[in-house]
Structure 1
Amino acid sequence: MSALTPAGGANPHKASARQTELIDGEIARSLLDQLLDDSRLYRNGSDYHALLDFVVRLRNFAPFNAMLLQIQKPGLSHAASAPDWRDRFDRHIKDGARPLLILRPFGPVALVYDVLDTDGAALPSGIAAFTAEGDMTPGVLDACSRKLVGKGIEWSCVDAGDNLAGSIQLLVRSTNPEVPSRYRMRVNRNHDVNVQFATLTHELGHLFLGHLGADKYLNIPNRPRLELRQRELEAESVAYIVCGRNSVENNSKTYLADYVTEGTTAGNLDLYQVMRATGQVETLLGLAARTRFERPTKPNAAAH
């Protein structure tokens, strides 16, 4: 029996998507922890704000990958894969250009390039092809609310005063990874649609950050024992990124300023969890980034 074949003859190539996701998560976590420890980045409030703004700006990348790019090349304005530069912008990669590494979904790594390492046609104003859809509309918000139902999250509009934006509550916890738990999302119906979207992303941030406990069905870690300050900073960071990447204005800057000051270190923040949760919220709401990558090339069997 091959050393790569598990007992019982199971095919190693038929690992479940959940197992693959867990493995990818462990690799990503290990990579990020080492990068942050080696670089000593994001130790104060101003650096943390700059990181969030960078992730907002690179809307064509998943939040975690945008952070990896910021660590590798601070000051980067725009990046894309070689196919995107060629087919969407009529630009080619310069000879000798240094690629940047990001994690490929369900694979090892992918290569992308800084705009400064490309030549070709002039770029469109604001790199419009990279941006998400415009302002939030009732129709888009309604579509988001319907996506929640399939994941066991009940949507409820409540008649409340201006100081109550919304909340999320665990109703029934499931320990079966194939059965969703049940939650209730409350959103103030008297608020503007943009405020409602910001509330939605903030409360989903709490959920996917594990502030309500573990959820095997949604691949959520168990992280309930955090101070209020950390929980609110993490959840509002998620809302800040998702809203910013979808042209939704909210009061996150003021809100975050209440929790992060110039003297506040980011040592007690879990940046991996923030970026992971942000990506999960975007995926759940159908707002995930779309960047095309080159297909991995297989080794030439004849060469062996």
Structure 2
Amino acid sequence: MLILAPMHPVMLVYDLDSTEGKELPKNLTSFSKFEGGWESKWLKNLVENANRHKIRVNFKILSSSNSGFATRAGRDSEWKMRIVIHDVLDEPSRFGVLCHELAHILLGHLGGDKDLWWPSRLNLDHHSMEIEAESTAYIAIQQLELTGSSAAYISCYLKEGERLPEGASLDNIAKVSGKIGQMAKGKLPGPKPKRERQEKNQ
């Protein structure tokens, strides 16, 4: 892959999939693996409810070291946000990664939206965002009795004995994990645009 780098015109980098050598540690190859009593409707419901929030979910081939990501949609798009999940993952793992990426959006880590469907909390540092998103995903999947590698993932950002970063919010984690759990269990009505809410309240 070609990248731009400080003090260099361009540089070549390689993903893990393009290298050879000793077998990698399990925590690098199964960090997005989720298991348990699985029902396909959970993933289908979560994707459909995300779409109703103008969050587009795509499944594409990424790499073994990139299970998914969330980003803002383009200005000319009908969507507010976009999530891409690694297409090779099995359904429970797709679901677990989707919970994490959706949490980033609903926690406001990518900024707010004009309809105020989620807050803007861009002031958080990267560690706080990752701890919040994975904690939210962990609670959501626990509601469905799934298991994953959330504890190991969070430990990369929060060492034993350390306190939760000052900006991280347990209240937001609880609210968003509950919402994602509801979005997985059944189809919910889509939120109303700001203008429609204002007209209804008049």
When normalised by structure 1's length, the TM-score is 0.45
**DSSP 3-state at the match of 2:83:** strand
Aligned length: 150
Structure with larger RCO (C-alpha < 8 A, sep 6+): 2
Describe the shift of the 1:260–1:181 C-alpha distance in structure 2 as closer, same or farther (beyond 3 A). Answer: same
CA–CA separation in structure 1 for the residues paired with 2:184 and 2:106: 13
Match for residue 181 of structure 2?
282
Q: Does 1:141 align with 2:43?
A: yes
Match for residue 209 of structure 1?
107
For residues 67-122 of structure 1, the C-alpha deviation after alignment (integer angstroms, 9 at most, x for no partner) is xxxxxxxxxxxxxxxxxxxxxxxxxxxxxxxxxxxxxxxxxxxxxxxxxxxxxxxx
Query: Which aligned pairs between 1:32-181 and structure 2 lie closer than 5 A?
Result: 135-172=37-74
Match for residue 27 of structure 2?
none
> 161, 165, 169: which is aligned to 1:270?
169
What is the Cα deviation at residue 223 of structure 1?
A: 0.3
Match for residue 9 of structure 2?
none
5+ residue gaps, structure 1: 1-133, 175-179, 289-304
**DSSP 3-state at the match of 2:146:** coil
What is the Cα deviation at residue 172 of structure 1?
A: 4.6
**DSSP 3-state at the match of 2:69:** strand
Equivalent residue letter for 2:87? R
CA–CA separation in structure 1 for the residues paired with 2:106 and 2:141: 16
Identity %: 26
CA–CA separation in structure 2 for the residues paired with 1:282 and 1:216: 25
CA–CA separation in structure 1 for the residues paired with 2:75 and 2:181: 23
Instruction: State whether residues 157 and 189 of structure 1, in contact with CA within 8 Å, keep that contact through their aligned partners in structure 2.
Output: yes
What is the Cα deviation at residue 277 of structure 1?
A: 1.8
Instruction: State whether residues 46 and 180 of structure 2, in contact with CA within 8 Å, keep that contact through their aligned partners in structure 1.
Output: no
**DSSP 3-state at the match of 2:73:** strand
Structure number with greater Rg is 1
When normalised by structure 2's length, the TM-score is 0.66
CA–CA separation in structure 2 for the residues paired with 1:173 and 1:276: 28
Match for residue 19 of structure 1?
none
Q: Does 1:183 align with 2:183?
A: no
Equivalent residue letter for 1:265? R
> 224, 229, 232: which is aligned to 2:130?
232
Instruction: State whether residues 59 and 84 of structure 2, in contact with CA within 8 Å, keep that contact through their aligned partners in structure 1.
Output: yes
Instruction: State whether residues 194 and 250 of structure 1, in contact with CA within 8 Å, keep that contact through their aligned partners in structure 2.
Output: no
**DSSP 3-state at the match of 1:201:** helix
Describe the shift of the 1:205–1:258 C-alpha distance in structure 2 as closer, same or farther (beyond 3 A). Answer: same
What is the Cα deviation at residue 287 of structure 1?
A: 5.9
Q: Does 1:245 align with 2:143?
A: yes
Instruction: State whether residues 157 and 186 of structure 1, in contact with CA within 8 Å, keep that contact through their aligned partners in structure 2.
Output: yes
Describe the shift of the 1:251–1:183 C-alpha distance in structure 2 as closer, same or farther (beyond 3 A). Answer: same
CA–CA separation in structure 2 for the residues paired with 1:280 and 1:139: 16
5+ residue gaps, structure 2: 1-35, 188-202
Instruction: State whether residues 167 and 187 of structure 1, in contact with CA within 8 Å, keep that contact through their aligned partners in structure 2.
Output: yes
Instruction: State whether residues 45 and 185 of structure 2, in contact with CA within 8 Å, keep that contact through their aligned partners in structure 1.
Output: no
What is the Cα deviation at residue 280 of structure 1?
A: 2.5
Describe the shift of the 1:235–1:161 C-alpha distance in structure 2 as closer, same or farther (beyond 3 A). Answer: same
**DSSP 3-state at the match of 1:187:** strand
CA–CA separation in structure 1 for the residues paired with 2:39 and 2:179: 22
> 132, 143, 154: which is aligned to 1:256?
154
Moved more, 197-206 or 277-286: 277-286
